[in-house]
Structure 1
Amino acid sequence: MKSIKPFLVRAMVLVLLILVAACGSPDEKKMAFFEKGKKLLESGDVVTARLEFKNAIQIDPDFAQAYHYLGKAELRSKNPKAAFGALAKAVKLDPENTAARLDLGRLFLAANALDQAEEQMDVILKNAPDHEDAILLKAGIYLKKKDPKAVFALLEKLEGKPDLPPGFYLVKASGLEMEKKDQEVASVLAQGQAAHPKSMVLILARIRYFGKHGNATAMEAELVKALDMVPGDLNLSMNLAWVYLQTGQQEKADTILDQVIAQNPEDQKRVFAVAALRLKANQIDKSAALIKQGMKVHPEIYQYTALLSEIYLKKKQLEQASQVLEDYIALADKAPEPDRVKARINIAKLDIILRRADQAESQVDQVLEIDPKNIDAQYLKGRLALARRDGDEAVSRFRAVTEAHPDHLAAYIGLANAYALGKNYDLALDILKKALKRAPNSAKILKGMVRVNILKKDTQAAEENLKQLVSLDPYNIGSIAGLGDFYLAQNRYDEAMDQYRLIQQNKKGEALGHLKMAEALSRTDQVDLAIEELKAGAEKTKDSSVFITSLGKLYLRQGQKEEAVEKFKEALAMDPDNKLAWLTLAGIYERDLEYEKAIALYRDFLSRHKDAWLAANNMAFLLGKTRTSKADLDEALKYARMALELNPDSGLVLDTLGWVNYKAGDLEQAEKNIAKAIEKLPDNLEIQYHYAQVCHDLGNTKEAAAHLKQALAGKRNFPWRQQAQALYEKFYQ
C-alpha cells in the first residue's frame, strides 16, 4: 500500500479544521471575531479591527460589547458621528456597561454637549457614587461650565484616596486656575508630578503653566525632563527650541533645530516645522531659505507654498505673496486639486486686502465651479457682497455657511452685519445671540453685538456687551480699553479715565494706559496734563514713535508748530513706517503753502507705502495745483489713478482725478470724473466749484451757474472760494 504524501496530509488537516470551525456555534463565532478585533485594536490596526467588530455584530445584532469596541475603533479613526452611533447602541443594549457609558460621556464632552455628558455620568454615579472615572469626568463637565465650586465639591469625594490618577490633579489645577489661584495651581501640579513622576500629561501641564507665567528656566527644565523620557520627540524638541529662542540662547536653539532635520532630512513635516518656528521667531530669511530648498525638491507640497506666501505677507510684499500662490496653481495636475483650491482661496483673500474685488470674485467663482459647496468660497462671497453693500447676496451666502457649518462663528458675524446693512438690527442681534449660545466666551461675537447696538443707538445694551467682554477676562487690556473708549465717545470722561487707570495698573498695559489717558485729558482741554502723561509714557517705552507722534499732535493743537514738526521728524527717525507722522507732517507743509516740501515728503512716503491711497491722492492734487509741465501732469495722473485703484469708491479721489484731467486739458474726462465725485459727495463745496469750472470751460453755462451757486451758498469757507467768487462775479452775477 502506498503511503499518503505529506502535502496531502496537511491539506486534509486544513480542511478538517475549516469544517470544525464551520461547525462552531454562533456565540463561538461572534466571540472569535470580537476577540480578534480587540487584539487588532490593541496593536493599532484600527481598520481591520473595525471589520471584525462588524462581523461579530452581523452574527448578533444585540452584541453590546461589540458595539462598544466598534465605537472605540471609530473614535480612533476620528469618526465621531459613527462612534456616537455605536456607543449609544451599546449603552441602549446594556445599560449596565459603565465603560461604554463613560466613553459616550467623553464623546458628549468633546462635542460640548455638556448636559448630555452629565446625564451619562449621573446614571453611573447613581449606582456607584464613588466611581472615580465618572467623578473626574463630571468634574471636567463642570470645568467647561465654568463652575469651579462644583468641580471642587466633586473632587472632595476623592481627596485623600491612595493612587489618585493624573487626571485628578489636572482637573483640580484647572479649577484653581479658573479662580486665578496661581500659587495653588503650581502646588497641585507639583503634587501630581511627585505622585506620577513619569506622567507626560502632568509634565506638559507644568510646561504650559510655566510658559503662561513667563518662567522660561522652569519651562526649559521640564522640557529637558520630557525629552529624556521621549528622546527626539518632535513637538517637545520644537518647544524647547522656542524657549531657547525666546531667552536669547540662539546656539542651543540652532543645535536642536539642526538635529530635528538631521534625524530625517527627507521628512517634510520636520523641515516645515523648523521653517515655521523660525518664521515665528522672526528669522524670516532662514525660514524662507528652508522653504525654498524644500520647494525645489517637492514643489507639489502646498504647505511650502502657503508658508512662503505668509513670509512675503509678513514682509508686506503682497504681490509676491500672491505670485507664489499663482505659481502653485500653474503646476496644474502636478499638484493635488484640493491644494490648488486652497491656493485660489488665499489669492482671493490677498485680492480683498489689495482692494481687487473683481479679481477676488473671479478666484472664488473658479473655486465654486470645482467645489460648489466650498465653505471658504461661500464665506468670501459673502464678504465681497458686504463690501459692495449687497445685503441680500451677503445674507444668502452667510446663511449657506451657517447651515452647513453651524460652528462657523465668522459667518454668523457676517450674517449679522448683512442684516445690519439693511437696518434689520433686531434680526442681526438675534443671529449674534444664537452664535453666542454656541460660543459663550467669544469676544468677536460680543464685539459684533456692540457694533450692532451702537448702530441701533442702544448705548445701554452696547455698554452691557462691553462689560460682558471685560468679565470674560478682567485682565484683558483691549477689552478694558474698549469700555474706556466707549465712555470717552459718550463724553463720560471720569468713567473713561477710571478704565484707563486700570490699564495703567497692568504692567503690560502701562504704555497704552498713558496714551489713552492723554487722549481723555486732551478731550477735556487739559492739554498740559495730556502732554505730561505722554512724556511719562514715552519715558517708560523707549523708542516708541507712537508717543512722539501723539506729542507732536498736542503741540500742534497748542499752536507750537515748530515743536510739533520736530516731534514728527523724531517719530519718523524711530519708525519710517509711521504713516500718521508722515501724513500729518505733509499736511503741515500743505497748510503753510510749502508745497515743494509736501511733494517731496509724499514722494518719499509713497516709495515706502504703495498702498496709501490718501497720500497718492494728495500727491496728485498738489502736482496738479503747482505744476504745469506735461511730465509733471503725467506724474499727477499716475498718482491719481493709483489712488483710484486703491480706493475706487472715494468721491475725493474722483475729484482729484477729474481736476488733474482738467489741468491736463482733457475736459470731457474731467467732467465725467467730477460728476461721479458729486454723486458721492454732493455737499462738498470744493467739488461743486471744480465741476462749475469744467462746465464753464466746456461752454455749459447753465450747469456752471447752478453749481457755482451751490458752492457759494451760505458763508462756509473752502480753499477755492475766492476763485469761485471771481468766476461767478465775472460771468454769472
Structure 2
Amino acid sequence: MIIITDKRNEQDNRFIGSQTKNNKYPRLIQAISVIAVILAFVLLINSQNQIQNDTILKEIDSSEHGQGNSDKLTEYDLDQLGQQFLNQNDTKQAIRIYTFLHYQYPDNLKYLNSLAYSYFVSGDYKNAFLSFEKSLQLDNNNEFTLFYTGLCYIQQQDNQNAEKFFKKTLNINSKHEGALLNLGNLIYGEKERENYQEKSAYYYMKCIESNQKNKECLYKMGILHFNRKSHYKAIKFFKLILDVDPQHPLANCSLGDTYLELKQNYEALIYYKTCVELINQEQQQKELIQYYKKILQIDPNQPHLKNTLAELYFNSKQYDDAYLFYKQVIKNNPKDQKALLAIIKICEIKNNLSDQIYWLKNLIDIKNQNNDEYIQKLGDLNYEIKNYYEAISWYRQLFNKLKQNYSLALKIAQCYVDIADDHAAELWYLKALAIDQQNLISLENLSQLYYYERKTLQAAKYSQQCLSFHSQSLICNKIQGFLNYDDGHYQEASQNFLMALKQSPYDPQALFSLAQTYEALKQFDKASFFYKKCITVNPIASIYKNLADCLIQLNQIEEAIIMLTKSIQLDSSYQDSYLLLAKLYESKNDEQSSIEIYEKYYQIDPYDAAILLKLAQYYQKENQIEKSIHYYKSLIEINQSYEPAYQAISSLFLQSNKIDQGILYFHQLISQNQYNEFAVAQYKYLTAIKK
C-alpha cells in the first residue's frame, strides 16, 4: 500500500485553530470544523492514491510498449498495488501488475504465486495451472502452490491428481484445513471407493481437531451420520455449528430433517421455522418451498402456509403447483379475493380459458356482479372459445349499465354475425351508430350486411355515409364499387376499387373486382395487369381463366394457353378452362391437342352432348371405329331420339363388316322413327343380304 504522510498544511491549522468571535455555538462550530478537516483529509488521501495508482499503471503500460523507464516503478509499490487490486476483486489489473513483476523478477516465487492466484480468482484456471506449475519448478515444497495446484486439478475434473497434491500439502502442514476438507469431499464423492464414508470422515475429523469451529467440516460430519442413520450423532455435529453460528440455515434445516426422521415433530418444527426465517432473508425460493412443505407436512392446519407456498410457486413460475395450493386456499376461504385473482392470472398465463371463466364467475359472485372489468372479461373469454350466446349474455348485462358504450354494442353485433343472425347484428350495429354516428365499424358492417342481403339502397346509403366521414375505408370503397359495377357504372366502380387498393394494395377482392371492371370497360391491358397481381396473392383457377380471356383479346394466344394450363393444374375440375383451351387449339388448327383437352373434359362432364358429338365425329374421321362408336353410344344414352347417332353407329358397324350389329341399330332407329326412309331402306337391304 502507498503510504501518505499525515501532515496538515498551515491553512488547515489556521482553520482548526480559528475561533469565530461572538459565536453562540462555539462547540458545534468546532465539531463541524474537525469533521470537515477529516473528510477533506480522506478525500485528499484517496485522490492522491488514485493519482499514484494511475501513474503506476501508465508507467507499466509504457514499459510494456518499450517506451517507459521501469526503474521509476518501485517493487514495493507495485506489489502493494497488486494486493490492493486483489482485495478489490479487480483481477484484470492485478494480473497486469503481477505479469509485469514476474517479467521483471522471474525467480521471485512470491510474484509468480500472486500472478497464479490472480488468474485463479479471475476464473482463468488454465493460466493459473500453468503459473503454479512454473512455481513448483522453483520450489516443489511450497504449501500455497501445492494446495492451489490441487484446486486447479479439481477444475480440470482430475480428482486423482487433486488428491495427490492435497496430500503433498498435508505432508508440509498436517493441519491445512482446505486440504483436509477437499480430501474429505473428494473421497466422499467416490461412492465406489471401499469404506469411502470412514475415509472421508477421517479427514473431516482431522480438520475439526485443528479447528473445532470449522462449520463446513462439522456440517459434512453431520450429513455423514445422518445418511448412516446415526441421528443423535448427526444432531451433535449440527448443534456444534449452531454454537459457532446460530444463524446457519443449513444446520437448522438439517436439524429439522433429523428430528423429523426421529418423529420428534415439535423439535423439527422449531428448526424448520428458524430455517425458513433465515432462508427468507436470503430470498432462496426453492429452499423455502421445500421447508414450508415440510412444515405443512408436520402441521397441516396452517392455512396461511398454503397461501405462502402458493405465492412462492407463483413467483418462481411453477404455475401448476401454485394452482393446486391456491385451490386449497380458496377451499378454506372461498371469498379470498387475492387467491382468486392469482388463480385467474395463472389460467391466463396457461391460456386455460374455460378455467379462467369458471374462476371469474366465482370472483363476480363475491363482488355481487358490480365489477365491470370482470363482466367484460367474461364476455371476451366466452367469445374467444366461440361460446357466443354466453358472451352475448355477459355483454348485454354490462350494456344495460353502460348504455352509451358503443364498443359493447359492436361486440354484441359481432357475436350475432358469428351465429349468422344478421337481423340481430343489424339492430346492434344500428345501436352503436346511434351512439356514435361516425362509427367506422358500424357503417362498414351495415354496408356489408345490406349488400349481401341484396338491400342495395340501404347498402348504398351506409357506404356513402361511411365514405363521407372515412373516405379511405377499404370495405365501403369496395361495397360502393360493387354497387357501381352491378349498375353498369364501370368508370365509377374502378375509382372505388383504386381507392380501396390505396389502403390495402394486395386486397384480393379489390384486385379481382378492379380487373373485372377494366375487362367490362374493354381495357384488357389494365385488366390483365390486375388479374396478374391478384394471382400473386390468390392463385385460383378462375382468375387464370379470366386472365386468359383478356390475353386472347390482346391476341396473346400463347400466353393465354399457358394461363389456362396453369388453371387446370390448380383445379383439374374447372370446366371453363378446358373448353377455352380446346377452342384455342382449334383456332391454331391443332386438332389433336384440342381433342386431348376435350377427352379430359369428358372425364369431368360425360353428359355434354356437343363435346360427345365432336369427339365421335373426330374419331369417325380418323377411322378409329371403336372410339367413335363409344362416343355415339354415349350420345344415345343422353338423347335416345338422336337419329344421326344411330345412323353413324350402323354405318361404322357395316364398315367393319359387323352386319348383325348394323341391322340392330337400324332396327332401333326405325323403332324411334318409322318414317325414316333411309333407315327403312338400309334395314330391308341388309336383311335381304343376310338371307
Measured against the shorter chain, the TM-score band is 0.3 to 0.5
**Under a length normalisation based on structure 1, what TM-score does the superposition of the two structures give?**
0.37
Structure with max Cα Rg: 2
